[in-house]
Structure 1
């Protein structure tokens, strides 16, 4: 007999990816509250793992832990079809989860990575972003 252990709407029934997305939104909220107008042209995305063949850790806009990228700022540009693309921060879920000891540590790590990436996008020091939240 196979059936879900929890009802579909219960928090315990969410996948790891869904729980991660919720922590990302929570970590991003205070930054957006303060810098919302400046971040209107910026998207935040989550990938499971980085494509290390496409972008090495020495590339601009990459926040990493040694050789493993944790996040990447992708500038606005043009895609293969010639359509304009928006700037986006890509967070890599698995490398971030592996480095976190628990849920609170993950939230702190995500906050730090988002502060660095938003500062890079805005061309300011990370302390400027962090100070604005206090």
Structure 2
């Protein structure tokens, strides 16, 4: 039996991934964004470890909230750019099965990505969003958490 060549069936190139799975470029856009959120959140977690111990961080692709069309000012639990939510704090509560849930911060990937032209701008926007949401969760002013914070 002949040995199969590692080329595709039309003989135009190798089969399989071009980059090994461990390389940074192999990660998807969503995974790189998730890593950027974790990196932006880490200094806040280091500064307030006891207060943020029971707070989860999540990333959602788009906001899944019911907003009124006449809503021009969002509550402090929602970080927004104009009429578009960029993240929100969901308080602890009880799910539909009666089990307790933990408080969590949700960052919306698509709206954040659409407002950024580069990695540095995305890092700064994520830092600002997470500072605002952590401050809302801790019932603090964002400038108390980050003296350079500007809304």
TM-score by length of 2: 0.81
What CA distance in whole angstroms lies between the structure 2 residues aligned with 1:31 and 1:72? Answer: 16
Tell me the SS of whatever aligns to 2:146.
helix
- Correspondence for 1:35: 48
What CA distance in whole angstroms lies between the structure 1 residues aligned with 2:86 and 2:146? Answer: 19
Instruction: Looking at secondary structure, tell me which structure has more helix per residue.
Output: 1
What CA distance in whole angstroms lies between the structure 2 residues aligned with 1:44 and 1:35? Answer: 15
In structure 2, stretches of 5+ residues that fail to align are 1-7, 9-14
How far the C-alpha of 1:3 sits from its partner, in A, is 2.5
What CA distance in whole angstroms lies between the structure 2 residues aligned with 1:42 and 1:116? Answer: 14
Question: Paired residue for 1:113, among 129, 132, 136?
Answer: 129
- Correspondence for 2:113: 97
Matched, 1:45 2:58: yes
Question: Paired residue for 1:19, among 4, 29, 32?
Answer: 32
Between the two proteins, the alignment pairs up a number of residues equal to 131
C-alpha distance after superposition, 1:18-73 (max 9, x if no partner): 100111111111111111111011111000111143x5565531111122110011
What CA distance in whole angstroms lies between the structure 1 residues aligned with 2:146 and 2:74? Answer: 24
Q: Does the CA-based 8 Å contact 2:40-2:127 persist in structure 1?
A: yes
- Bigger relative CO (Cα 8 Å, ≥ 6 apart): 1
**Divergent runs of 4+, >2 A:** 55-60
In structure 1, stretches of 5+ residues that fail to align are none
What CA distance in whole angstroms lies between the structure 1 residues aligned with 2:23 and 2:39? Answer: 19
What CA distance in whole angstroms lies between the structure 1 residues aligned with 2:96 and 2:52? Answer: 25
- Correspondence for 1:73: 89
